[in-house]
Amino acid sequence: MSTTVRVPEATTTETQGVIQVHVPPHSIASELRAIRIVWRRDLIRFLNDRIRIAASLVQPLLFLFVMGSGLQRLSSSGTHGVNLKTFIYPGILCISVMFTAMFSAASIVWDREFGFLREMMVAPVRRSSIVIGKCLGGATVACTQGIIMILLAPLVHVPYNFVLIIGIFGLQLLLAFTITAFGVMIAVRIKQMQAFFGVMQMVVMPMFFISGALFPASGLPGWLTVLNRIDPLTYAVDPMRRLVFNHITISPIARRVLDPGVSWWGWHVPALLEAGVVVALGLLMLTIAIWEFSVSE
Amino acid sequence: MPPSSNGSQPAIAVHNLVKNFGDVHAVRGVEFNVAPGEVFGFLGPNGAGKTTTINMLCTLVKPSAGWATVAGHDVVKERDDVRRNIGLVFQDPTLDTYMTGAQNLELHAELYGIKSNLVAPRMRQVLEMVGLWDRRNSPVGTYSGGMRRRLEIARGMLHSPRVLFLDEPTIGLDPQTRRSIWSYIRELKEREEITIFMTTHYMDEAEWCERIAIMDQGEIVALDAPDRLKAQIGKDRVMIHTDDDQAAIDALKQRFDIDARIAEGAVTFGVPGGEQFVPRLFAELGVPIKGVSVSRPSLDDVFMSYTGTTIRDAEEDAAKNRNRMMMQMMHGGRR
């Protein structure tokens, strides 16, 4: 992703006089170019940030192996022979993607605090292009997190299987986009980095715990069931877990207990619809983010 | 709406421009034209409304009343057209310090839709102009303050704008760096056909401009070429230090019929032929003088003659007002 400028040494500009360039009126092509560069900037920044890359490697290991191995000792009877790490794997994958996506969205607040946002705000492009580029950038960075998690799959007894991997990849991609849109929607309203992290603590951790990343989403107390059903993360974790369970051999009891599926008023929500919910929420939040960004400043 | 009578359109035309923020009247009906190719300066203390005016001209703030055109386009109705034709260097830095200089410029080129095959040569040109070509692949975080400002000027020029806005381009830089920034701006002016609109509160910098508008409390109080503004004053500035300033002011009034006032801690007044006046002053004032300085009229004097205060004092007053307002708000909050 290096952007070294290639200029032949022979064509020094002194001899050519002033190069006049021209800014064209805005068009779909120019908006697409703007989207692409905003997207690419997120990648450049991610790749330049070694600490962030290291954190993205360490964090899922911590969740998966420390939490998974630790809780395994308590829950071996409850999981009916299924390794707890396998059970929480989809949930941990989703939360890792979610953290990364939220962190990417936070860069909007950062950019505002350090002035760079202004450079984008005064450019002759639609604000929506900036938001879309930002969401795609965040989603792409979060996706690398998802890919790391997919690579770890065999360590928690999830096999490398083409359909499984494509399915997981697709689901985490949708989730990455939706959560970035969610983060951007919040970030646009916030002026200080500290405040953003405060909001993140208040929003991300509850979404994680409520989503069923760590427990089956049935037989919960009523209040928790309600919260669980309105948590967007639920609709990414559940189909991903089903996908995983479809590709490992487990007992029917374990399947029933650990993969009850999500139901709305007793109606079992199919996996495709769940993915649709994630997409719909993502588009809704993207629309809100664009609207907020257009009216701001 | 904009004047288009004789074909040669002004680069910037401003008519009765007003901006209110609630009860605060930041800009109170300013009017001026800037000709193509002109270097036009806005001079005034902090809080005079310079930045608000610039923000209206570069479409970041909507005027409360009046209109303005930049490069022939209305700043409200043709916002995108204005944006395509202007370059901006803000008072506060707007660089991505995690990216290299080249990456910052490349991002700009993409946002402005510059033809791909021209990006690299144009980038090289502007980077060479500000002397940063060799540092293009270093992260901006490693640049000094002066280098960052130069990079911003290069970026502002990258898309060949017709009007370049520089809001306090040298603020916070040391004198040497300020000089070098100015030599870059002058070189730029020689090489490219461009109108430059800048704000400053450094008097010496304002003298680089072809015309200057002096702004105070949201209004333009004077507008002309620096030389002509100074010629209108026709007086040298004399500052004297005494043990009893009030007695000195009274004595000046009585013996010489001169209105003096205290500015920057000294008794200050304007008088034609300052050097010849000093011997008379010592002989006839009757108040012991500890020190005296005489200076040719500067833009500071112009500012003073129109506003009755020096820029520095005007800024201190503004700061005091802000503090007082904050105190009042705090006390009000407790009650």
Restricting to B residues 42-81, those with a Cβ less than 8 Å away from any Cβ of A are 58-60, 80-81
Query: Distance (Å, rounded) from C-alpha A75 to C-alpha B206?
Result: 76
B158 touches chain A (CB under 8 A): yes
Tell which of B103, B187, B188 to mutate to test the A interface (max A CBs under 10 Å): B103
ipTM over 0.90: no
Confidence class for position A77, pLDDT limits 50, 70, 90:
low
Kindly report the nearest CA distance between residue B59 and chain A, in angstroms: 8
Q: Is B126 on the interface with A (CB under 8 A)?
A: no
Q: Give per-10-residue mean pLDDT for chain B (335 aa).
A: 57 93 88 92 84 90 93 92 91 89 94 91 90 93 91 91 88 79 80 87 81 89 87 82 87 86 84 84 84 82 77 69 61 44
Q: What is the mean pLDDT of residues A70-81?
A: 72
CATH of segment(s) B12-229: 3.40.50.300
Question: What does the pLDDT look like over A260-293, one tens digit per residue?
Answer: 778 788 788 888 898 999 999 999 999 999 999 8
Whether the predicted pLDDT of A10 surpasses 70: no
Distance from CA of A281 to the nearest CA of B (A): 28
State whether B100 and A3 contact (CB < 8 Å). Answer: yes
Domain boundaries, chain A: 29-295
Q: What is the pTM of this model?
A: 0.80
Is there a contact between B98 and A45 if contact means CB atoms under 8 Å apart?
yes
Ranges of CATH 3.40.50.300 domains, chain B = 12-229
Q: What's the rounded Cα separation, in Å, for the pair B303 and B309?
A: 7
d(CA A163, CA A166): 5
How far off is chain B from A53, nearest CA to CA, in Å?
A: 15
Backbone angles phi, psi at B70, to 5 degrees: -125, 130
A51 pLDDT band (50/70/90 cuts)? confident
pLDDT over threshold 70, residue A16? no
* pLDDT of residue A8 exceeding 70: no
pLDDT value of residue B6: 45
* Domain boundaries for CATH 3.30.70.260 within chain B: 235-296
Q: What is the mean pLDDT of chain A?
A: 84
Structure tokens at B143: 């640049």
* Domain B235-296 classification at class level: alpha beta
B81 neighbourhood in chain A, CB within 8 Å: 25
Cβ of A115 within 8 Å of Cβ of B102? The answer is no
Chain A residue closest in CA terms to B85: A23
Does residue B313 or residue A220 have the better pLDDT?
Answer: A220
| Number of CB atoms found within 10 A of residue A201's CB | 10
Is 90 exceeded by the pLDDT of residue A45?
A: no
For every residue of A64-108, DSSP letters joined together read IIIIHHHHHHHHTTTTTT--HHHHHHHHHHHHHHHHHHHHHHHHH
CB-closest option in A6, A49, A125 to B120 = A6
Token duo for residue B101: 């200089």
